[in-house]
Structure 1
Amino acid sequence: MAVELVIYDIGNVLIEWQPEQYYDRVIGQERREAMFAEVDLHGMNDLVDRGADFRETVYACAEEYSQWRDEIRQWHDNWIELAQPAIDHSVRLLRALRAKGFPVQALTNFGIGSFAVGETHYPFLKEFDKRHISGHMQVIKPDPRIYEMVEESCGFPPEGILFVDDRADNIAAAEARGWQGHLFEGPQGWADRLVAEGLLSAKEAI
């Protein structure tokens, strides 16, 4: 079926999301590896992505692992430094689709509070026709329920959706519901896919 709607993931598709790189810069790789081995920081972040309060969740984790208190609090206090930079070519592709009037939505594992911070730094996060934010939905990818919720509200049939995400498990869950998927491994591959689908010309996809 022809593509009728493009749905973007955000982290590592439009914005780099590599918290380990931030901590490597500020505390060094050795200390970062020790902290991540001791503290499930990505699990903590999953709670935020499911709708838990951003600051309260991070600060509670910091108190539980008080030997890492200052470092863990930076996940909240310096969050925008963990979520950078924008992936410029991907942003251009998003805007090229929008310029042609093609429907573009977002489906992302993102906390309510952290997304609000992200919006202040990345204006393109406001440029989707509709945004499906896990924190508000209280379920995260790749749970099948989140895709079902998108189908209920997006206004397009599953077979007409082209979903781009950087995680294979998220793509597999979408494809299991009949969506078309693209595993993001870099913006050029995504550009090539959009051209192959006839959504953008080669010039528009630069």
Structure 2
Amino acid sequence: MSEIRHIVFDIGKVLIHYDPEIPYSRLIPDVEERRWFFDNVCTHEWNLEQDRGRAWEDAETALIALHPVHEDNIRAFRRHWHEMVPHAYEGSVAILEGLIDAGHDVTMLTNFASDTFEEARRRFTFLERPRGVTVSGEIRLIKPDRAIYEHHAESFGLEPAATLFIDDNALNVAGAQAAGWQAVQFVSTETLKEDLRRFGVEV
């Protein structure tokens, strides 16, 4: 196992909670109707294109053309985005800040729309502490595509084999490993501590 010299954190569901159900449980109270809406209108795949760099205005226009009767709830996705990210995960933020304070090289790599990331950065000031961040919406590359890992490594001078990536999504973990990185799936704060120690990183 290579010595870990670089640690890269995902953000959503690793450092910050994200759940679109929070505002929509109020906007679409019926559970089955709400599930249909997420499965057929504001789908994960639709939202992912904003993470890939598509403007919200373009995303809304295209979707409203397909589902005009759902215009209000389509526009509500961006309008109520702030409710979807209600808090940070104190445990994993403490790990991130502890690693930085101990002198480790810490950066972030995230699938995030550029404008919502700027909103998140204003709200969660700890996002300013790592050495830097690659935001998918800014560079129009997205996890788990190999190109985004290579872009991040080149941008921040990381040696892939000496880099440990932390992400909640198994596909993104596999994408990092395919790019030659070490990687672990985030499950909980305690599991992350164990994973870091397994890679020789004391927390």
The one-letter code matched in structure 2 to 1:10 is I
- The answer as to 2:24 corresponding to 1:23 is yes
Task: Find out whether 1:158 has 2:152 as its counterpart.
Answer: no
CA distance in 2, matches of 1:200, 1:61: 47
Is 1:168 paired with 2:170? yes
* RMSD between superposed Cα atoms in Å: 1.7
Once residues 149 and 128 of structure 1 are traced to their aligned partners in structure 2, the CA distance between those partners, rounded to angstroms, is: 17
Q: Which of 74, 78, 81 is the equivalent residue of 1:79?
A: 81
Per the alignment, residue 96 of structure 1 pairs with 98
Residues 102-141 of structure 1: per-residue CA shift (max 9 Å, x gap) = 1110110001111111112111122220101101110111
2:68 aligns with one of 62, 66, 85: 66
Query: What amino acid is the match of 1:160?
Result: A
After TM superposition, what 4+ stretches of structure 1 lie above 4 angstroms from structure 2?
none
CA contact (8 A) 2:7 2:105 kept: yes
CA shift, 1:55, in A, is: 4.2
Match in the other structure for 1:13 = 14
Measure, in 1, the Cα distance between the counterparts of 2:200 and 2:57. Answer: 43
User: How many residues in Structure 1 have an aligned counterpart in Structure 2?
Assistant: 201
Match of 2:55 in 1: 53
Determine the C-alpha separation between the residues in 2 that align with 1:35 and 1:44. 12
Normalised by the length of structure 2, the TM-score is 0.91
Contact 1:52 1:135 in 2 (8 A): yes
Identity level (%): 34
Whichever residue aligns with residue 132 of structure 1, its letter is: T
SS at match of 1:151: helix
* Equivalent residue letter for 1:33: R
3-state DSSP of counterpart to 1:86: coil
CA contact (8 A) 2:6 2:106 kept: yes
